[in-house]
Structure 1
């Protein structure tokens, strides 16, 4: 992991986007492999999509935003996997 990636991952660990089982080791200075971090982000993005998918009170615009975020998360995951793996 590069220095820039390590900084980004540390900032990510301070957010609420990662579950504690991924964020806690990062904050302790022992980050998991990058692919595990990406997996956690993708699962989080899918949870957001699933939450809004069945909610009839959300607007079409909300659903579009969630789908764009999911798409961006998957594309970022693919880019990281291509770069690292």
Structure 2
């Protein structure tokens, strides 16, 4: 059985990516970590793609949806402007 069809591989990847997000913040790795975690849950519950290419496409779509959801949740609200009170040279 190929390794990408194992749920624990995806969950381990999600853990590694979440750890990278803690070390290098910016909500980049967190989107991939959530995509990998969702992919692991899909495989755990019996939903699997028929090949590596389709599995990676599903992972990419899940990661993109996670990133867009985080951007909507954590991003600036509509009409909100970021105001700088201090300068780095002060």
Place the TM-score, normalised by the shorter chain, in its bin: 0.3 to 0.5
Rg (Cα) greater in structure: 2
Which has the bigger relative contact order, CA under 8 A and spacing at least 6? 2
Structure with a larger share of its residues in helix? 1
TM superposition score normalised by structure 1: 0.37
TM superposition score normalised by structure 2: 0.36
